[in-house]
């Protein structure tokens, strides 16, 4: 950590000791003393978390435990009641991040062609039109995605629309990407395809990614670590490392290490469900 970072972190009052569930690596995101209540339900109470830089973190836990609420608070989409969330000591407003919504049908602008949907965040940032075009074309070329970008959302399949919304989240070159069950509305074939696209993107960029998934196999398959949450108030039940080499393939799914990591996560999950 640079002296400047240390200063920023200290001045922001973040303790230097890692929280329970901390991973001992330089954190990208530090969540401290986070509390959130909806009505009478306490979703988070004094919750601490370190998200390491450059890792893909899958968030897994029982329905309604607070997975979406967590990433929505980290991404600033909903306010926290109490607590502090910093990105390398900085505030969210000082960094570039991307967010991929679960429901791609509502996420894209129906009156805009794919290209303009992808370029839209640059327009918001007042990037001149020629540069917008160049940056969008460069992104599409880099990802090697074959898609007619003149199509409107209604002319695209669900998977193609979700690809467009992922590209839109990437056009600003974010340092961190949040994805809330991004494949849940896709059919199985498209889900498998999109998993590979995401894995490739992660390997190419080394970007920090936080992925909410309700599919344990997918959560383990994609992750460097699986964040297992318990039910109200949510606690870190485990932060399980996944050591399988990348790129992971269908062969990975039957490797002993992968199978035992998945079994461990299932164990923790079932224990937490029983406890609730």
Ligand X SMILES: Nc1ncnc2c1ncn2[C@@H]1O[C@H](COP(=O)(O)OP(=O)(O)OP(=O)(O)O)[C@@H](O)[C@H]1O
**In the complex with Mg ion, which residue's Cβ is closer, 140 or 229?**
229
Residue 41 CB, shortest distance to ligand X, in Å, is: 6
**In the complex with ligand X, which residue's Cβ is closer, 67 or 168?**
67
The separation between CA 56 and the C-alpha centre of its own chain, rounded to angstroms, equals 8
Pair 32, 50: CB distance under 8 Å: no
Q: Which residues inside 19-58 make contact with ligand X, applying CB under 6 A?
A: 38, 41, 43
Residue 83 CB, shortest distance to ligand X, in Å, is: 16
Residues sharing a CB contact under 8 Å with residue 191, sequence separation 6 or more, in sequence order: 183, 218
Query: Which residue do the tokens 């461990």 mark?
Result: 264
**In the complex with ligand X, which residue's Cβ is closer, 27 or 62?**
62
63 lies in the binding site for ligand X (CB under 6 A): yes
Among 27, 52, 66, 153, binds ligand X (CB under 6 A): 66
214 lies in the binding site for ligand X (CB under 6 A): yes
CA atoms within 13 A on the CB side of 78: 14
**In the complex with ligand X, which residue's Cβ is closer, 14 or 80?**
80
8 lies in the binding site for ligand X (CB under 6 A): no
Q: Which span (64-72, 160-168, 235-243, 264-272) binds ligand X, by CB under 6 A?
A: 64-72
81 lies in the binding site for ligand X (CB under 6 A): no
Q: What is the side-by-side order of every strand in the sheet holding 208-212?
A: 97-100, 176-180, 208-212, 56-60, 225-229, 236-241
* 66, interface contact from Mg ion, ligand X, none, CB < 5-8 Å by kind: ligand X
Q: Which residues inside 245-274 make contact with ligand X, applying CB under 6 A?
A: none
Residue 198 CB, shortest distance to ligand X, in Å, is: 19
Q: Which residues inside 50-89 make contact with Mg ion, applying CB under 5 A?
A: 67-68
Residues sharing a CB contact under 8 Å with residue 100, sequence separation 6 or more, in sequence order: 107, 162, 165, 166, 169, 177, 178, 179, 180, 182
Distance CA 202, CA 196 (A): 10
Q: Give the Cβ contact number of residue 85 at 10 Å.
A: 20
**In the complex with Mg ion, which residue's Cβ is closer, 35 or 68?**
68
Query: Which residue do the tokens 């949450």 mark?
Result: 229
Residue 238 CB, shortest distance to ligand X, in Å, is: 16
Residues sharing a CB contact under 8 Å with residue 140, sequence separation 6 or more, in sequence order: 118, 147, 149, 167
Residue numbers at the binding site for ligand X (CB under 6 A): 38, 41, 43, 61, 63-69, 214
Residue numbers at the binding site for Mg ion (CB under 5 A): 67-68
């Amino acid at each position: 950590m640079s002296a400047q970072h240390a200063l920023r972190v200290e001045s922001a009052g973040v303790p230097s000791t890692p929280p329970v569930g901390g991973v001992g690596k330089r954190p990208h995101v530090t969540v401290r003393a986070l509390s959130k209540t909806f009505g009478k339900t306490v979703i988070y109470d004094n919750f601490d978390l370190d998200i390491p830089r450059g890792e893909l973190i899958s968030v897994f836990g029982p329905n309604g435990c607070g997975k979406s609420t967590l990433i929505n608070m980290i991404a600033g989409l909903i306010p926290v009641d109490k607590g502090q969330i910093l990105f390398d000591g900085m505030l969210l407003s000082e960094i570039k991040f991307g967010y991929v919504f679960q429901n791609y049908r509502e996420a894209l602008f129906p009156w805009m062609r794919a290209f303009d949907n992808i370029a839209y965040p640059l327009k918001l940032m007042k990037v001149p039109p020629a540069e917008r075009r160049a940056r969008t074309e460069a992104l599409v070329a880099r990802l090697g995605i074959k898609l007619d970008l003149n199509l409107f959302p209604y002319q695209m399949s669900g998977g193609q629309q979700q690809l467009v919304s992922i590209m839109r989240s990437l056009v600003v070159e974010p340092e961190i990407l949040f994805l809330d069950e991004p494949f849940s509305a896709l059919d199985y074939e498209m889900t498998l395809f999109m998993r590979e696209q995401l894995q490739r993107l992660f390997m190419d960029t080394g970007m920090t990614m936080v992925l909410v998934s309700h599919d344990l196999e997918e959560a383990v398959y994609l992750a460097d670590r699986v964040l297992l949450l318990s039910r109200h108030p949510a606690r870190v039940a485990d932060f399980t490392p996944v050591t399988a080499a990348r790129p992971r393939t269908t062969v990975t799914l039957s490797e002993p290490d992968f199978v035992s990591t998945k079994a461990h996560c299932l164990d923790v999950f079932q224990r937490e469900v029983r406890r609730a």
